A = this chain, B = another copy of it.
Amino acid sequence: VKTPAGVVALLTDFGLRDPCVGILKGVLLSVHPAARLVDLSHDVGPQDVLEAREILSSSWRWFPRGSVFVAVVDPGVGSGRDIVGVEAAGHVFLAPDNGLLGFLEEDGAVRRAVRVTNRKYFLQPVSNTFQGRDVFAPVAGHLSRGLDLGKLGEPIRKLRQIRVPRPRAAGRGVLVGQVVSVDRFGNLITNLPAERLGKAERVDIRVGAARIGRVRTSYASARKGELFGIVGSRGTLEISVNRGDAAKTTGARVGVSVKVKRGR
């Protein structure tokens, strides 16, 4: 893996009020002054590994080849859980081995994975409470300068996985998925892949008590206030209201099930 641009993308649950993210960046720039730091999000729900995984898996492919992704959402800090470095699809990923990076393995994208143990690349001493600062940041700095992943520790064969909600078939032409994210506009992002929805414009979608009959090709092609389905920017079904807020309209939130019956 080459890291031509020195881009480091950061994903944490630290929030932006505390100086933790700034401290990570200070350490990172101490190791690699020319790194280009990009914030993916720091408002992941506290210790919400699944949300972090959802964000990273829908974002990484838009970055320049050779980017380093650092994800610190880590309920197990100080518990002896591993930190892993992964080479996949021309990028490098660094995260706790808690399922956050599991999507890379599913995609068959992993080229190499190591347990990060070489203290030579850590700050000393390593605290038990802020390994973002003491381990993730300096290691990411070195990786973005081109350090070979193999220097960080021994190879591992498998990444840990977490249970991720999957769509399931429920009878002929019926698929049940769920809302996996709600964006700032109130759009409900589901895990139902576009290619399994069929081509029909007429469908029968249920979200809680709401019933939706149409899949639109753009927000603007819906009437103002209409609740409709649309294939969103992640390639999955989204539920939207033109110039409105589908989360408010339907009362749905992350985890709510979405049932789709294909039209004929």
| Bitwise interface map of A from 229 to 253 toward B, beta carbon under 8 Å scored 1, else 0 | 0111100001000010100000000
Of B26, B43, B62, the residue contacting A16 (CB under 8 A) is B43
Asked whether A79 and B17 contact (CB < 8 A) given A27-B62, A33-B64, the answer is no
| Bitwise interface map of A from 37 to 74 toward B, beta carbon under 8 Å scored 1, else 0 | 11111110011000000010011001110010000000
Asked whether A128 and B219 contact (CB < 8 A) given A18-B183, A26-B59, A59-B26, the answer is yes
B36 & A22 in contact (Cβ 8 Å cutoff): no
Number of interface residues of A (CB under 8 A): 66
Of B21, B26, B78, B243, the residue contacting A219 (CB under 8 A) is B78
Of B4, B129, B133, the residue contacting A238 (CB under 8 A) is B129
For A17, list chain B residues within 8 Å (CB).
41, 43, 184
Task: Tell me, yes or no, whether A221 is within 8 Å of chain B by CB.
Answer: yes
A184 & B41 in contact (Cβ 8 Å cutoff): no
CB neighbors of B among A100-139 (8 A)? 127-130, 133
Q: How distant is the Cα of A184 from the Cα of B243 in the complex, in angstroms?
A: 27
B25 & A38 in contact (Cβ 8 Å cutoff): yes
Task: Tell me, yes or no, whether A7 is within 8 Å of chain B by CB.
Answer: yes
For A23, list chain B residues within 8 Å (CB).
59, 62
A22 & B39 in contact (Cβ 8 Å cutoff): yes
Q: Which 3 A-B pairs have the closest CB atoms?
A: A78-B218, A79-B220, A130-B233
Please name 12 pairs of A and B residues whose Cβ atoms are closer than 8 Å in the assembled complex, sorted by A: A9-B22, A16-B16, A16-B39, A16-B43, A19-B55, A26-B63, A46-B185, A77-B219, A78-B217, A79-B221, A128-B218, A129-B233
